[in-house]
Structure 1
Amino acid sequence: MGKAGRFACIFVPMALTIASLLCLILVASGQLNKSNKVQRDLYFFKANTSEFVDNPRAKELLNNLNLDNNLLNALQNAQDKGNIKDFYTVGLWSYCEGDQDSDGKETITYCSERKNNFWFNPVDVWQLSNASSKAIFAKDGKMEKTLEVYHKVAGWMFSAYMIAIALTAAEFLVGIAAIFSRWGSLLTTIVSTAQSIFVFAAAITSTAIYSSMVGVFESALKPYNIHASLGKNMLTVVWLAVAFSTASGFFWTISICCCSGQSPHKKVSVEKTPYTYERVASPYLGASAGGAQQGHAMGTLPTPAHGTSGNTYEPFRHERV
């Protein structure tokens, strides 16, 4: 197949590796820049509080319902102080908040600082910092438990994404060596396997934990017109990264046993060793093999002729080193 064929064989997994890396970079860039539309639309989780904040009859309607007055009062106080915005979107490093106009158009007004092992805590974000407000969420055991699990898992999830990005970059660099040998393909396959494990683990963790967050918000805060939803764009990019990663690992494995890079039409030349006999023509017995055999049988040695090599043997002719 040759080097050109080897390069073509490596091109597919290399392209899939680059695609996986780009997806992971997009995941990490979500909610880092409020001015970039692509980054604004990439979030794992969204809390919509616009109905509670903007509806002029919200307080009256909520007061008439048989709800937890402590939680209602805490949310109303946070609203009066301007601590509750219309929406919140959560990314890997930070969250963003903003306002929504009467036409439903959303405008991000603030994004938090980038932070390792970030997790979204509504108690702190809404500044429900007094003991009674924190105790409100403790009344709903599921709400408290989910937030605790989210807090603990957020660190692992963040690390998994960072390791996946690093391994994907390493996979691309090591993959260059795979162009030249199957040993390079083997090493790249090992790196790709580790990368796929971390990408899948990060994807399943983020999907599970934020799905739980949506369920808790909907059950505990929906009566107060606060809703939650998953970021479809972000999860689509995350699982595309998983798909590209898995496919690249498959093709890296194939490249170990296929596409050797050696040309099947390569000619192999064998050099003559010194002091070997050559067939030469005989002017007495002819150039046939039979004549040569007859001459040796009679005990006669043919005189070397000034000709080209033929079919008889010249015992005393050799190559000098």
Structure 2
Amino acid sequence: MGKAGRIACITIPWALTVASFLCLILIETSGWTNTTSTSQFYFLQADFRNLSTASASNLANTTTLTAALELAQSENQLAKLYQIHLWNYCSSSKTDGSIDFCSKKESQFVFDPLSVWGLNGTNATSSSSDSAAANNVVQSEINQAKDSAEGLENKLLGKSGKAALDTYRHVAKWMFIAYEISFWTTLATIVCGILAIFSRWGSFFTWLFSIASTFFTFASVLTSTILFGTLTGALEALLHPYNIKLSLGTHSLILNWLSVAFSLGATAFWLLSICCCSGRSNPHHRSNKGGLWNAEPKGQGYGDYNAGSGRGRGLRVEKTGGGYERVSSPYLGDGGGGGGGEGDRVPLQPYPQQQQQQGGHYRQQSGAFEPYRHH
């Protein structure tokens, strides 16, 4: 197929790898800058625009959470909208939900809802009677928990909410690491894929990088899907009575799983490029181990046979100027040489037994065996 065929053979896996990398770039850079519109590639979104504690005032076991939300709302600790990304979170203080703040990027970022939403009461500064009363309730819970954050979380979130938050905190760090390994191994696959144009060894090493890329991409995407799905479900059940809406980022989910599909397809095609498309233009070419192109033209013995049948690859027939050269026979005398004498016209027949005559000379009874010298 030649180099052009080799390039065509690796175009598909290389393009799939680039597509997967572009998806990962959008996930990585989501939330890096403040924008005038809502970002589409968040993992989780919490909407506080319709927050109301009146409907939950009579519910059991909501006294502490209700007081904490009322305090945070009165102290303007709560934004209208929150979006959780891979490196940070963003929020909006506008009713239209347009993002106007993004936190600083952090490696192994973990979102802390109690601190960010001001539910722990530590950010309260108002001295109004209503706010002070609410603050006293929250502060009383903190004192009863003996300054234990775990005890306060149990009172605010309940058992299921606390378990989901703990799981998120522990797994989010691993998820971040997996995304970073996926990002860099995908980039390495793209760079190494250029070398795959020239040899199957290049395809082999590219395939190894692609395997690592696919594994970590799948692991990170699966982890984020399960992790934020569980956290969203637990917090949604807890905050739904307050008209707080939590939702998964569907655009982020689609983009994540597209990156997995592209990466998986690329790995399969990289493996195919190892088995096929060697890059040689013709297995019988002059540069490929000699062979048929070095044989003699037609009509010259073995050269004609090999060139016509395609067999005997690798045989080389040496040119002597006239094909095979006849060797003079000691049994034919001077006329049996290669000079075109009488012996040249002796028909080729099985060589019979010679008889010895007087004087030590031999007499040929019939046609002689004609030997040839091979060069």
Q: TM-score, normalised to structure 1's length?
A: 0.82
- Aligned counterpart, 2:107: 116
Q: How much does 1:36 deviate?
A: 6.7
Q: 1:36 to 1:200 in 2, by over 3 A?
A: farther
Higher Rg of the two aligned structures: 2
Instruction: Check if 1:151 corresponds to 2:169.
Output: yes
- Aligned counterpart, 1:178: 196
- Aligned counterpart, 2:118: 127
CA–CA separation in structure 1 for the residues paired with 2:19 and 2:161: 37
CA–CA separation in structure 2 for the residues paired with 1:41 and 1:163: 23
Asked whether the 8 Å contact 2:50–2:243 carries over to 1, the reply is yes
Asked whether the 8 Å contact 1:277–1:314 carries over to 2, the reply is no
CA–CA separation in structure 2 for the residues paired with 1:100 and 1:36: 11
Any gaps of 5 or more consecutive residues in structure 2? 122-138, 143-148, 297-317, 341-369
CA–CA separation in structure 1 for the residues paired with 2:322 and 2:209: 61
Q: Which amino acid aligns with 1:259?
A: C
Asked whether the 8 Å contact 2:36–2:98 carries over to 1, the reply is no
- Aligned counterpart, 1:278: 320
Q: How does 1:3-82 map to 2 (within 5 A)?
A: 3-35=3-35, 40-52=39-51, 58-66=52-60, 68-82=62-76
Q: 1:153 to 1:292 in 2, by over 3 A?
A: closer
Q: How much does 1:62 deviate?
A: 3.5
Instruction: Check if 1:266 corresponds to 2:265.
Output: no
Task: Give the number of equivalent residue pairs.
Answer: 290
Q: Which amino acid aligns with 2:72?
A: A
Q: TM-score, normalised to structure 2's length?
A: 0.70
CA–CA separation in structure 2 for the residues paired with 1:118 and 1:279: 82
Q: Which one of the candidate residues 93, 104, 125 is aligned to 1:99?
A: 93
CA–CA separation in structure 2 for the residues paired with 1:50 and 1:160: 34
Q: How much does 1:119 deviate?
A: 1.4
- Aligned counterpart, 2:299: none
Structure 1 residues 7-58: Cα deviation after superposition (integer angstroms, max 9, x where no partner) = 0001110101111111101111111122275x81110000111111xxxxx3
Q: 1:213 to 1:277 in 2, by over 3 A?
A: closer
State the secondary structure of the residue aligned to 2:277: coil
Asked whether the 8 Å contact 2:21–2:259 carries over to 1, the reply is yes
CA–CA separation in structure 1 for the residues paired with 2:119 and 2:193: 51
Asked whether the 8 Å contact 1:44–1:231 carries over to 2, the reply is yes
State the secondary structure of the residue aligned to 2:272: helix
- Aligned counterpart, 1:286: none
Any gaps of 5 or more consecutive residues in structure 1? 53-57, 282-288, 305-311
Asked whether the 8 Å contact 1:21–1:169 carries over to 2, the reply is yes
- Aligned counterpart, 1:246: 264
State the secondary structure of the residue aligned to 1:96: strand
Asked whether the 8 Å contact 1:295–1:302 carries over to 2, the reply is no
Q: 1:298 to 1:97 in 2, by over 3 A?
A: same
Asked whether the 8 Å contact 1:31–1:96 carries over to 2, the reply is yes
Q: 1:87 to 1:277 in 2, by over 3 A?
A: closer
State the secondary structure of the residue aligned to 1:266: coil
Structure 1 residues 268-311: Cα deviation after superposition (integer angstroms, max 9, x where no partner) = 44499xxx783649xxxxxxx9x95898844344559xxxxxxx
- Aligned counterpart, 2:125: none
State the secondary structure of the residue aligned to 1:28: helix
Question: Structure with the greater relative contact order (CA < 8 A, sep ≥ 6): 1 or 2?
Answer: 1
Q: Which amino acid aligns with 2:40?
A: D
Structure 1 residues 73-99: Cα deviation after superposition (integer angstroms, max 9, x where no partner) = 111000011111111100000011113
Asked whether the 8 Å contact 2:328–2:338 carries over to 1, the reply is no
Q: How much does 1:145 deviate?
A: 1.2
Structure 1 residues 142-181: Cα deviation after superposition (integer angstroms, max 9, x where no partner) = 1111111111111110010011111001111111111111
Q: 1:215 to 1:314 in 2, by over 3 A?
A: closer
Q: 1:184 to 1:280 in 2, by over 3 A?
A: closer
Q: How much does 1:128 deviate?
A: 2.5
After superposition, the CA RMSD in angstroms is 3.0
CA–CA separation in structure 1 for the residues paired with 2:225 and 2:200: 37
CA–CA separation in structure 2 for the residues paired with 1:244 and 1:6: 21
Structure 1 residues 191-212: Cα deviation after superposition (integer angstroms, max 9, x where no partner) = 1101111000000000000001
Q: How much does 1:314 deviate?
A: 10
Instruction: Check if 1:223 corresponds to 2:241.
Output: yes
Asked whether the 8 Å contact 2:92–2:101 carries over to 1, the reply is yes
- Aligned counterpart, 1:206: 224
Q: 1:277 to 1:253 in 2, by over 3 A?
A: closer
Q: How much does 1:222 deviate?
A: 1.0
Asked whether the 8 Å contact 1:7–1:179 carries over to 2, the reply is yes
Question: What percent identity do the matched residue pairs reach?
Answer: 36
